[in-house]
Amino acid sequence: MFCGKCGAQISEDTRLCPECGEMVSENQTDRKIVNENTERNNTMSGNISDDAAKSQNHPQPVLVALIVIQEICMSQQKIIQHQAAADTVAEKDA
């Protein structure tokens, strides 16, 4: 069993961590073990950690904004080209 606060290994019947003095409950130790196993599995399988995944989520809104701006610019360019073509046809008709 492990302390949920410091991670020190403790015996099953211990309710007070000898390293940090934290009251130990089975929920804390189970949670600590699950967290350690999850981190170990992510590292071994090449998956990124939760912190890294969160930091990679930040560029997405910026990317979406850039795509929207690009689409607006392309639309404006098409409108200008269309107006120029219409002006050319109008000049020829006049």
91, 72: one domain:
yes
Please give the average pLDDT of every successive group of 10 residues along the chain, which has 94 residues: 81 83 65 60 56 60 88 93 88 77
Considering its fold, how many domains does the chain have in total?
A: 2
5, 33: one domain:
yes
37, 81: one domain:
no
23, 62: one domain:
no
The pLDDT value given to residue 74: 94
SS3 readout for the chain: CECCCCCCECCCCCCECCCCCCECCHHHHHHHHHHHHHHHHHHHHCCCCHHHHHHHHCHHHHHHHHHHHHHHHHHHHHHHHHHHHHHHHHHHHC
26, 71: one domain:
no
The pLDDT value given to residue 29: 46
The pLDDT value given to residue 72: 94
How far is residue 83's CA from residue 91's CA, in Å, rounded to a whole number? 12
Which residues form the domain of 16? Answer: 1-55
How far is residue 78's CA from residue 84's CA, in Å, rounded to a whole number? 10
Query: Model-level pTM?
Result: 0.35
The pLDDT value given to residue 90: 84
44, 75: one domain:
no
42, 78: one domain:
no
Angle formed at CA 89 by CA 86 and CA 91, multiple of 5 degrees: 110
6, 46: one domain:
yes
